[in-house]
Chains A and B, each alone.
Chain A
């Protein structure tokens, strides 16, 4: 069975381009525009990795999803990547990379949109290995 990546974003362009990148990298990709249907699908088939946007229906729906995943024993081991265009109070880009910051956010990696294809593939491979 091929590796399944769950992609959650309410912006169809990012869904489409990231799917393109990941499929070119040889992964199977399921796309969702909201966290609720993404969660329903996860309960049916557990993906190998989740990539989610941050600001969708609400300001922190991506965070909520990440925390929900990490606090559920079934999914706690599931790597999560957050990709966002959100601006931070500190300036144009909000780019936490320290382990502590990532843990607080409930994710293994964080990218500012748009993420370059090479970086995304490399990070996915690293997290899946």
Chain B
């Protein structure tokens, strides 16, 4: 609303009063509009005209002044209402004030009387408007601050990284929920508390580094081992406008899982390196023997050396192929070469292939084929299926002690060929059963300490089974044995 040039509405049924007022007020620089009665005045206001002041006569036809006051006030709460009347009584004055009138000018009045009243009123109005503006501004700011605070609070509460704010006196002055959760020593003391209570000397040294440095926007980062978890800790200084460092904000990002993954990966690399080096070294050794002349000019002996080298190189090739398969499956590039295969034949071959290994540990390995003829054909990848069966049987041999029993059973289960390997080996604890299919996961305890492996076998098996739209599950009783069951859809 533009109140720069105050505009005035004069409502009076007497033409002389209207024009007299217009003359006086126009000379004083006001913009004047007149109305002959209340109805006309309302129409003018409802048409969107805004006024700073309304001079209202009380006694008018159609719509009386008192009622008009109320209506005008309702249309514009800021409008300055002044009553002009020839019938001045205390009662009408009180009634007018109740309707929101600021003042009362009895007729007849002099131009000066009119001007003084209007000027005083305008001054008062401008003060009231300023007060109102300030109040509204303050309320708006308060609302903003409140919502900003609650927003910050919500963010701090929800953030998964731990956050501590430390002041120059090395007091912890703020901690979010995550910090209280992941740093047990930070959860109990009331804020503020000395950071020494955290009992993390490395972290304290990082804070010292932030504070002792020349002020400047720099971040100190370090990976810290805190109890059972590893954290990537980033500390940034809080720099005041005058350039001084007033505190530090420390963010704790949990990297425990990443670290574990890193360890698992490097262990996997060493296992793989050993698996690769052994056949390579054996082949190299044989060839060296041949070159050194230790193998006499005996064709039979020479052939033996070449045969052994050939076998090891072939093993090495298979190992590399297997590693590449795993990578291919991991990256989603493994293609199944499906053909109509007899599941029972492949199961038989896998059991036969594991015969030597089983006999080496005096393990009784038997195949129990309970599937009916003609229902054993599956549209599957023969190599993958062989890999699945062999892996499960080899695992059973690995985790079954000397003299144990392994029963491989083939059966039809609805539209599936069900292949299960049951052993009476060391078994798997319930909490570890879900994890045995995870990559690199190896159960570590006294019983398994001596058993080598890459931790990839079962995860490879699971992936291959799933590529065939099959299912795999494991059941086990620690100390009594395990059963691994694979179901492959039949064609």
Contacts and interface: CB of A to CB of B under 8 A. Distances in A.
A113 B294 contact: no
Contacts of B312: 13
Contact of A86 (B274, B292, B295, B308): B274
A103 interface: no
B303 to A, nearest CB: 14
A13 B280 CA distance: 11
A103 B286 CA distance: 30
B205 to A, nearest CB: 28
Given A13-B285, A87-B270, A117 B308 contact: no
Contacts of A58: 449-450
Q: What 8 A-B pairs come out closest when comparing CB atoms?
A: A114-B285, A87-B273, A113-B281, A13-B282, A85-B277, A57-B450, A58-B450, A85-B281
24 contacts: A13-B285, A13-B286, A14-B281, A17-B286, A20-B294, A20-B295, A24-B294, A55-B274, A58-B449, A85-B274, A85-B278, A85-B281, A86-B277, A87-B274, A89-B270, A112-B281, A113-B277, A113-B281, A114-B282, A115-B285, A116-B292, A117-B289, A117-B292, A118-B292
A113 B273 contact: no
B288 interface: yes
A43 interface: no
Given A14-B285, A58-B450, A117 B294 contact: yes
Nearest to B311: A13
Interface string A66-89: 000000000000000000011101
Interface string A85-121: 1110100100000000000000000001111111000
Given A17-B282, A114-B284, A118-B292, 20 more contacts: A11-B278, A13-B282, A13-B286, A13-B312, A16-B308, A17-B289, A20-B289, A20-B294, A57-B450, A58-B449, A58-B450, A61-B450, A85-B280, A85-B281, A86-B277, A87-B270, A87-B277, A89-B270, A113-B281, A115-B285
A42 interface: no
Nearest to A53: B278
Interface in B266-308: 270, 273-274, 277-278, 280-282, 284-286, 288-289, 292, 294-295, 308
Interface residues of A, number: 24
B285 to A, nearest CB: 3
A88 to B, nearest CB: 8
A92 B270 CA distance: 9
A58 B281 CA distance: 19
A4 interface: no
Interface in A12-60: 13-14, 16-17, 20-21, 24, 55, 57-58
A72 to B, nearest CB: 22
Contacts of A55: 274, 452
Contacts, number: 60
A85 B277 CA distance: 6
Main secondary structure of the interface of A (DSSP, over half): loop
Given A11-B282, A86-B274, A87-B273, A114 B308 contact: no
Contacts of A118: 292
B297 to A, nearest CB: 14
Nearest to A60: B449
Given A86-B274, A87-B274, A113 B285 contact: yes
B274 A114 contact: no
A106 to B, nearest CB: 20
A85 B450 CA distance: 17
A14 B288 contact: no
Interface in B173-229: none
A20 B290 CA distance: 11
A121 B450 CA distance: 31
Contacts of B285: 13-14, 17, 113-115
Nearest to B293: A117
